[in-house]
Amino acid sequence: MAEAQRIEIGFEGGQIVTARLREEALRELRSRLDGGGWYDLQTEDGTLTVYLGKVAFVQIESSAHQVGFALGG
Per CATH, the number for 5-60 is 2.30.30
Q: Half-sphere exposure of 71 toward its Cβ, with a 13 Å CA cutoff? A: 2
- Report the half-sphere exposure of 62 (CA within 13 A, side-chain side): 3
Dihedral sign, Cα of residue 3, residue 36, residue 11, residue 40? negative
Q: Is the pLDDT of residue 65 over 60?
A: no
Q: What is the pLDDT of residues 7-63, one digit of tens each?
A: 999 999 999 999 999 999 999 999 999 999 999 999 999 999 999 999 999 999 986
Cβ(11)–Cβ(55) below 8 Å:
yes
